[in-house]
Amino acid sequence: MEGLVGISTETTEGVFTPPHRQGSILITLLNQPPYTLWSLPHLAQRPPPSCPGTRLPQPKYRLERSFKFHPELYEGYAHRRTIGFKEGKSKADNEEILGRAGEARTWEFVKSAEREERD
């Protein structure tokens, strides 16, 4: 992501500026089931009380913004499933995320301040 700092690009939605805040967490998913069932912004703001397998408290995050994912802006980006690339099964050129019914969307989160977490 280092090469994206300060770059703005014209898109169909207007000018897109990639995130460059230190401490941002970016999560990109297809905006369709089953991923929408995760309710990502809600989960970030109200996580389970502790991390599974530990007694550590879960941090809370605030949604900074959400935007359509533009893979062409991330040099070298290639979509891969969890299983990796399988010849004859996987598609090249990001077709699996660009040719779907739901758009690929990125959510940018930042850790909530302690006083925000108490509210």
With 0.85 as the threshold, say if the pTM is over it. Answer: no
The tokens for 105 are 């969307």
How sure is the predictor about 4, in pLDDT bands with cuts at 50, 70 and 90?
Answer: very low
How sure is the predictor about 32, in pLDDT bands with cuts at 50, 70 and 90?
Answer: confident
Could you report the per-residue pLDDT of 41-97, keeping only the tens digit for each? 999 999 887 777 887 888 899 999 888 888 887 788 777 666 666 777 666 666 667
Q: What pLDDT score does 37 carry?
A: 92
Burial of 21 (0-12, 13-18, 19+ CB in 10 A): exposed
Could you report the per-residue pLDDT of 9-29, keeping only the tens digit for each? 555 556 666 666 677 888 888
**Max CA distance (Å), the chain:** 52
